[in-house]
Amino acid sequence: MTLFDDLRAHRAATADRHILDLFRADPDRFARFSARLDDMVLDFSKTSIDEAALDLLLRLARERGVEARRDAMFAGERINQTEGRAVLHTALRNRSDRAVTVDGQDVTPGIRATLERMAAFATGIRSGAITAPSGARFTDVVNIGIGGSDLGPVMAALALAPWHDGPRTHFVSNVDGAHVHDVLKGLDPRTTLVIVASKTFTTIETMTNARTARHWVEAAVGAAAGGHFAALSSALDRTAEFGIEPDRVFGFEDWVGGRYSMWGPIGLSVMIAVGPEVFGRFLDGGFEMDEHFRTAPLAENLPVLLGLVGIWHNNACGYPTRAVLPYDQRLLRLPAYLQQLDMESNGKRVALDGSPLTEASGPVVWGEPGTNGQHAFYQLIHQGTAVIPCEFLVAAEGHEPDLRHQHDLLVANCLAQSEALLVGRPTADNPHRVFPGNRPSTTLMYRQLTPETFGRIVALYEHRVFVEGAIWGINSFDQWGVELGKELATQMLPLIEGKGDAAGKDGSTAGLLGTLSDLRG
Ligand SMILES: O=P(O)(O)OC[C@H]1O[C@H](O)[C@H](O)[C@@H](O)[C@@H]1O
């Protein structure tokens, strides 16, 4: 019997019990099954986790070595074994005097120097001291990147909108020409700064969009186009090859994973939008969560507890998905961001040693902001046959004092939804109107979506993914599963261009290639 088996046995023995019974039996349940970091509270009392389950989960975390692995990460050990790399995105937001070493070398001075260069550049663009070669002020910034070089900055630009006082920011990610076309269509190349964001500087979508943007700028300003470009990458040889001036290149090391990279140079577009000071407050928030994760006892540790809730729902209850439901419009892109963070990190089928996993790993993560989701898919959450654990996020205060009544309505809806999921309406004269209730949710409540809070939220989820990955014994920091599609796309392109032969392709693919050529005439 493993602890996973014990958890399942405990779940089976208590499956008929209503979560409301847990509240009846324990008036302190909310206090006992919630945790706090400053003005942020994680409530997981509306789940079926009881004292015995929590004990087992905490034992599991210890048995699976979560603490040792966490310490190894912060110590700069090469815990990303399949790529032979350290995992040190936390170093990007290390606001302390502590050295962070990789192979005996303190990486902090390099990180600080890059951050200062970013700040000088961002300040220059914002003040107009750095202009286009013509002397024109940059009014718009276009970040071209995809995956980890896009989702974080896109999410942050919206989350930090109340602090946005710099040039307008735009994002191009999809290789679909519609994306770059539609974004550039509304802009003036003479006053646009293009930031090419790519850790590897080989990603075909980004390189293709970057070349398109280059032609667009060149058509307007000719040889001065170089002065409209900057690059964010860990491949400095390739940025030079692309023709980007070295003083416009902001580098980072291979121990920053793409989906963990928004804290450093990949965040430049955000820093230009909100300024280095506000960006620094975002880093402060991330650092605060790091310190908490490193030092708080497991039973009070927010990322650990959120991870254990995930393990309970996935491995003990067998719920294969979880919904992230921010009642915070400015977290609109959090679910998309988490889809990469969580599913690319923990969507794995083998353990660190290559042996097949015997436990289910990364669940499907999905969601939309409330209240919009309520008018779309909540029907299934309340009355569908699948149980979907819901993760609500909500701020006590909005940023629009004049619209306090709307914020009150927002918060009322958030609390009403978790209450409805819990309590349900089990008896009704019409079965179509029955709400079974007893459906689990967590709520993360914070005072306000400040830059610090936003940093804490992102770091909370990063470490939650870490905790779950450590418990499953997988490498959360590689992503081999994205490679095959890339390779096949490269091989497919000549066939799409009508230059190759579909012999050897499976019947469906050959059929679709035939259809494509028919449709194209
Ligand atoms: O930043 P880049 O090197 O361009 O990579 C962009 C993205 O593409 C890859 O396919 C990976 O799956 C992602 O983890 C990465 O964030």
Question: Which residues belong to the active site?
Answer: 344, 375, 486
Residue 81 lies in a domain: no
Helices (H), 134-203: 151-159, 177-185
Q: Which CATH number characterizes residue 191's domain?
A: 3.40.50.10490
Please tell me the residue having the least CA distance from ligand 1 atom 11: 147
CA of 444 to the centre of ligand 1 (A): 29
DSSP string, 434-468: -B-----EEEEEES---HHHHHHHHHHHHHHHHHH
Q: How far apart are CA 341 and CA 152, in angstroms?
A: 10
Query: Which among 274, 292, 313 is the end of a domain?
Result: 274
Residue 206 Cα to ligand 1 midpoint, Å, equals 10
Tell me: do 315 and 454 sit in the same domain: yes
- Sheet of 249-251, strands arranged across: 168-172, 140-144, 192-197, 229-233, 249-251
Mutate to test the pocket of ligand 1, among 482, 484, 486 (most ligand atoms within 8 A of CB): 482
Question: Which residue's alpha carbon is at the smallest distance from atom 4 of ligand 1?
Answer: 198
The atom of ligand 1 lying closest to the CA of 203 is: 4
- The domain boundary residue, chosen from 211, 240, 274: 274
* Contact by Cβ (8 Å): 11, 53: yes
Q: Let me know whether 473 and 504 are in one domain.
A: no
Q: Are 270 and 156 in contact (CB under 8 A)?
A: yes
Residues 293 and 442 in one domain: yes
Alpha-carbon distance of 46 to 34, in angstroms, equals 10
Q: Are 125 and 119 in contact (CB under 8 A)?
A: no
Kindly state whether residues 335 and 369 are assigned to the same domain: yes
* Contact indicator for 92, 107 with CB cutoff of 8 Å: no
DSSP 8-state assignment for residue 129: S
Does 492 share its domain with 409? no
Ligand 1 pocket (Cβ < 6 Å) reads: 146-149, 198-200, 203, 206, 258-259, 344, 479, 482
Q: How many domains does the chain have?
A: 3
Q: Is residue 471 part of a domain?
A: yes
Amino acid at site 512: L
Which atom of ligand 1 is the closest one to the Cα of 479? 12
Atom of ligand 1 nearest to the CA of 259: 16
Measure the CA–CA gap between 170 and 176, rounded to whole angstroms.
16
Separation CA 461–CA 42 (nearest Å): 12
Within a domain: 80:
no
DSSP state of 428: -
Whether 113 is in a domain gets the answer yes
Full pLDDT tens readout for the chain, 521 residues: 899 999 999 999 999 999 999 999 999 999 999 999 999 999 999 999 999 999 999 999 999 999 999 999 999 999 999 999 999 999 999 999 999 999 899 999 999 999 999 999 999 999 999 999 999 999 999 999 999 999 999 999 999 999 999 999 999 999 999 999 999 999 999 999 999 999 999 999 999 999 999 999 999 999 999 999 999 999 999 999 999 999 999 999 999 999 999 999 999 999 999 999 999 999 999 999 999 999 999 999 999 999 999 999 999 999 999 999 999 999 999 999 999 999 999 999 999 999 999 999 999 999 999 999 999 999 999 999 999 999 999 999 999 999 999 999 999 999 999 999 999 998 878 999 999 999 999 999 999 999 999 999 999 999 999 999 999 999 999 999 999 999 999 999 999 999 988 899 999 999 999 999 999 98
Q: Which residues pair with 445 in a beta bridge?
A: 41, 394
252 shares its domain with 285 = no
- Domain-embedded: residue 445: yes
Task: Indicate which atom in ligand 1 lies nearest the CA of residue 200.
Answer: 3
- Quote the pTM value: 0.98
- pLDDT of 43 reads 98
User: Do 309 and 49 contact (CB within 8 A), yes or no?
Assistant: yes
Range(s) of the domain holding residue 145: 89-274
- Gap between the Cα atoms of 341 and 479, Å rounded: 11
d(C-alpha 383, C-alpha 394), whole Å: 23
Q: Are residues 270 and 283 in the same domain?
A: no
Rounded to whole angstroms, how far apart are CA atoms 271 and 60? 40
**Beta-bridge mates of residue 194:** 142, 229
Report pLDDT for 514: 94
Token couple for 84: 């032979």
The Cα 491–Cα 201 span in angstroms is: 20
CA-based nearest residue to 205, from 170, 240, 180, 181: 180
Å from CA of 149 to ligand 1 middle? 7
Residue with CA at minimum distance from ligand 1 atom 14: 258
The rounded Å distance from CA 477 to ligand 1 centre is 12
| Residues 472, 506 share a domain | no
Q: How far is the CA of 88 from the centre of ligand 1 (A)?
A: 17
pLDDT score, position 203: 96
> For atom 8 of ligand 1, which residue has the closest CA?
147
Residues 217 and 106 in one domain: yes
Same domain, 175 and 317: no
Examine the domain organization and report whether 387 and 267 are in the same domain. no
CA distance 351 to 353: 5
List of residues 6+ apart from 59 with CB closer than 8 A = 3
Note the pLDDT of residue 426. Answer: 87
C-alpha 272 – ligand 1 centre gap (Å):
22
Q: Which atom, in ligand 1's list, is nearest to the CA of 482?
A: 12
- Assess contact for 190 and 217: CB atoms under 8 A: no
Of 253, 274, 295, the one marking the end of a domain is 274
Interatomic CA distance for residues 411 and 425, integer angstroms: 21
CB 214 within 8 A of CB 227: no
Q: Which one of 342, 479, 487, 488 would you pick to mutate in the ligand 1 pocket, going by the greatest count of ligand atoms within 8 A of its CB? A: 479
| 257, containing H or E segment | none
List the residue whose alpha carbon is closest to atom 13 of ligand 1. 147
Q: Is residue 394 part of a domain?
A: yes
pLDDT at 409: 98
With respect to residue 84, please indicate whether it lies within any of the assigned structural domains. Answer: no
For residue 429, what pLDDT is reported?
Answer: 85
Q: Is residue 322 part of a domain?
A: yes
Distance 486 CA to ligand 1 centre (A): 11
Whether residue 175 is found in the same domain as residue 250: yes
First-to-last C-alpha distance (Å) of the chain? 63
